[in-house]
Amino acid sequence: MIGSHWSSSGLWLAVLASGLYHGVNPAMGWPLAVSNGLMQRRTRALLGALVYLAAGHVLAMFVVMMPFAVLAMVLAWQREIQIGAGGLVIGFGIFLLIRRRHPRVLARIPPTRLALWSFAVAIAHGAGLMLVPIYLGLCRSFDMDRGHQAAQALIGVNLGMALLVSAVHALAMIAAGGLLAWLVYRYLGLKFVSRSWFNLDAVWAVSLIVVGALSLAINGALQSGAA
């Protein structure tokens, strides 16, 4: 079990909260869905854009977590892997605080390629990286190796959990972003976007640092409890 500090339900709430946070962040793409709907003058175009944005985001989450899913099978090193993941998340958050400019490669991806754009933005923002400590905690709650499961079964559980975390996070993101996109498209108009645009990059970088620090603190508490 993970311990009294973070139950399995608490970890899933963190996955959902992270997705909702990404959804309201304009940098994750909901204004592109509004633009797509307005240009084609069809609600279906807006919804179609959201589907592509979600697909790219899910793929980015899964690609980032997949190596950790494989590493999580090495249960003898699980604590070290989780500590390393926490340190990596903190380091990336500090990097984003220091370097505020977005990678130039993002500007070369036309907005019409929504899935590719969403994938690249999620990778550049470390969106999947933030979920790694949460994902590893969810894997630990399965107590996998205690039942002497086969290596293939372990792979299935880990990769399946990585895909599930990615899907839940992306669904929460699209629900929040899609609601904003629909309200702007249907009622609020483009003036709302221009007047209410907000940049959450600094807040996102701090969030990465906080999540990484929490992961390290939880591991320290578990190690003390085990001792």
For the chain, percent of residues with pLDDT exceeding 70: 75
| Of the ranges 46-55, 131-140, 199-208, the best mean pLDDT one | 46-55
Transcribe 35-47 into DSSP letters.
HHHHHHT-HHHHH
Residue 211: which pLDDT band, with cuts at 50, 70 and 90?
confident
Rounded (5°) CA angle 66-60-33: 160
Q: pTM of this prediction?
A: 0.76
Report the pLDDT value the prediction gives residue 52, as an integer from 0 to 100.
92
pLDDT tens digits, residue range 120-155?
888 887 877 888 888 877 766 444 444 434 444 445
Q: What is the pLDDT of residue 103?
A: 64
The answer on pLDDT for 3 being more than 90 is no
Average per-residue pLDDT in the chain? Answer: 78
Mean pLDDT of all residues in 111-127: 83
